[in-house]
Amino acid sequence: MKIRLPSRRIREKFLLIYELEGCQKEVNFLTAYYSVRRLRIVLDGRRAGNGNIASYFENKAYFTKRGLTKRTVLHELYHHLVHVHGLEMPQRTEEKAANSYSRDFISQRGVARAIVKYMLSKT
């Protein structure tokens, strides 16, 4: 089973929520979209561990201050979706899939450009 990207409209709304309301609100929006339980964001660099900027463990994503970016949040959200759906895959495969999910989510068809254009028009 593959976790599919949401539509462009949903991705644009995600980025707007992230910019205007914050990280936890956008994660709540996406978990509601995927109809899964909530992912809790914790800003605690010690829990991320071993020089990592983020880690996921049982419905909680731990981030360092430097690691709290859109792409990293989406990466950890992918791990949450895999965990909730009970998908079994090797760690390396899951990491590659999480990287491509976060990269494609932000960059596919210029979603990021549309958000920047919208934000600039508001100023």
Q: Identify whether 60 is part of a domain.
A: no
Q: Identify whether 93 is part of a domain.
A: yes
- Which pLDDT band holds residue 117 (cuts at 50, 70, 90)? low
Q: Tens digits of per-residue pLDDT, 61-98?
A: 999 888 888 899 999 999 999 999 898 889 998 999 99
Rounded CA separation 13/63 (Å):
23
Rounded CA separation 107/35 (Å):
24
Domain total for the chain? 1
pLDDT value of position 66: 86
If we measure between CA atoms, which residue out of 96, 71, 64, 68 comes closest to residue 82? 96
Q: What pTM, to 2 d.p., does this model score?
A: 0.81
Owning domain of residue 107: 8-36+66-113
